[in-house]
């Protein structure tokens, strides 16, 4: 029992647990919509779009998180605007802005000597060093984001499944695109301290990918993804405490391990299930009913 309770006797571990679980839940919910729509690349783009905002904030000694949030939201709006041109696919626009944002961040930082150490926590996460204020900020932002996701759930699902049908039904597709991209930005920003800018995409996409393999029901997927993310966060923190390793990286590795298990052993869509399905004899519909009964037997 002491093995389970000892880490939580430390205040820094309690804060880390709260932030990691809240970040995981938020990323799991928002990531489900991203995976459903098939635009996982947007998470990586916005994560890198946050980078120049943080760099500019660092140069001017402003709040890094606020700078990142502004840059991420601006990039999200640009993606939504440029993607309205049907000549360009959404992933093309995302790729262009992905490179542009990261290039801008590098240029800005090149003018600020000695930046690397100061931004290490932003790039790789520093969940064990967060403050009470950080916990409150994540709780408020995460709670608001979950309420918005719940309120827009049906509309976001409709656009994710069939954009043209959603547009024909009169849904504001462009506004819903902007809403989703902004939600992704906020989820990424509040998760930066948990896993860092480099690994945040895994927390956003991998739990949702696991849930997608494990269930065919959208409602169940929306519950499974945040649960997997939260479990990964707790397990990663335990491993970090006992083995004195990077918490953010371990959270991501635990999530990846769950994905590999899901990919191999998911009841209907796992590798073993597909192998078993291929090995079953197929029913010849051209046979008379008597032959069909025999084939089943």
pLDDT at 218: 87
DSSP code, position 281: P
Tell me the average pLDDT across 111-131: 67
Confidence of residue 43 (pLDDT cuts 50, 70, 90): confident
pLDDT at 290: 44
How does the average pLDDT of the chain come out, rounded?
83
Q: What is the DSSP string of 220-246?
A: HHHHHHHHHHHHHHHHHHHHHHHHT--
Confidence of residue 42 (pLDDT cuts 50, 70, 90): confident
How many Cα atoms are found within 13 Å in the side-chain-facing hemisphere of 94? 14
How many Cα atoms are found within 13 Å in the side-chain-facing hemisphere of 42? 31
Question: Has residue 88 got a pLDDT over 70?
Answer: no
Q: Of 43, 20, 37, which is closest to residue 218 (Cα–Cα)?
A: 37
CA 252, CA 232: separation in Å to the nearest integer? 8
Question: Has residue 294 got a pLDDT over 50?
Answer: no
Structural domains in the chain?
Answer: 2-281 (1.10.3470.10)
- Contacts (Cβ under 8 Å, ≥6 apart) of 177: 79, 80, 83, 159
Which residue bears the tokens 């459903």? 36
pLDDT at 137: 87
Helix (H) or strand (E) holding 67: helix 64-82
CB 69 within 8 Å of CB 50:
yes
pLDDT at 121: 64
Percent of the chain topping pLDDT 70: 87
Question: Has residue 291 got a pLDDT over 60?
Answer: no
What's the distance, CA 189 to chain centroid? 11
Record the tokens describing residue 184, joined without a space: 């992704």
Q: What is the pLDDT of residues 272-288, one digit of tens each?
A: 998 888 877 655 545 45
pLDDT at 289: 47
Buried b or exposed e, range 26-65, using 16+ CB within 10 angstroms: bbbbbbbbbbbbebbbbbbbbbbbbbbbbbbbbeeeeebb
pLDDT at 114: 57
- Contacts (Cβ under 8 Å, ≥6 apart) of 113: none
pLDDT at 94: 74
φ and ψ at residue 113, rounded to 5 degrees: -60, 140
Question: Has residue 199 got a pLDDT over 70?
Answer: yes
Percent of the chain topping pLDDT 90: 33
Tell me the average pLDDT across 193-207: 83
Confidence of residue 113 (pLDDT cuts 50, 70, 90): low
Tell me the average pLDDT across 196-206: 83
CB 273 within 8 Å of CB 280:
no
pLDDT at 40: 78
Q: Which of 198-202, 209-213, 240-244 has the highest mean pLDDT?
A: 209-213
How many Cα atoms are found within 13 Å in the side-chain-facing hemisphere of 170? 0
How many Cα atoms are found within 13 Å in the side-chain-facing hemisphere of 218? 13
Q: Of 189, 266, 182, which is closest to residue 224 (Cα–Cα)?
A: 266
């Amino acid at each position: 029992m002491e093995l389970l309770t000892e880490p939580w006797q430390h205040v820094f571990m309690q804060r880390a647990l709260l932030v990691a679980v809240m970040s995981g839940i938020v990323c799991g919910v928002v990531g489900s919509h991203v995976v459903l729509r098939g635009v996982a690349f947007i998470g990586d783009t916005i994560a890198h779009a946050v980078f120049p905002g943080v760099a500019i904030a660092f140069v001017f000694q402003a709040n890094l998180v606020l700078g990142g949030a502004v840059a991420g939201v601006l990039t999200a709006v640009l993606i939504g605007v440029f993607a309205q041109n049907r000549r360009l696919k959404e992933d093309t626009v995302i790729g262009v802005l992905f490179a542009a944002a990261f290039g801008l961040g590098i240029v800005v930082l090149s003018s600020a000597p000695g930046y690397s150490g100061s931004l290490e926590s932003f790039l790789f996460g520093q969940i064990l060093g967060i403050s009470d204020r950080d916990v409150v900020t994540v709780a408020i932002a995460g709670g608001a984001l979950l309420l918005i996701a719940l309120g827009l759930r049906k509309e976001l699902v409709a656009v994710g499944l069939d954009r043209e049908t959603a547009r024909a039904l009169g849904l504001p597709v462009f506004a819903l695109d902007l809403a989703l991209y902004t939600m992704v930005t906020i989820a990424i920003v509040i998760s930066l301290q948990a896993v860092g800018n480099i690994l945040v995409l895994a927390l956003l996409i991998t739990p949702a990918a696991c849930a997608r393999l494990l269930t065919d029901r959208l409602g169940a997927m929306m519950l499974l993804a945040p649960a997997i993310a939260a479990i990964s966060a707790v397990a990663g923190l335990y491993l970090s405490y006992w083995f004195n390793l990077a918490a953010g990286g371990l959270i991501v590795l635990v999530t990846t391990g769950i994905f590999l298990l899901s990919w191999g052993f998911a009841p209907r869509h796992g590798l073993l299930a597909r192998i078993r399905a291929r090995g079953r004899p197929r029913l010849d519909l051209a046979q008379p009913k008597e032959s069909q009964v025999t084939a089943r037997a």
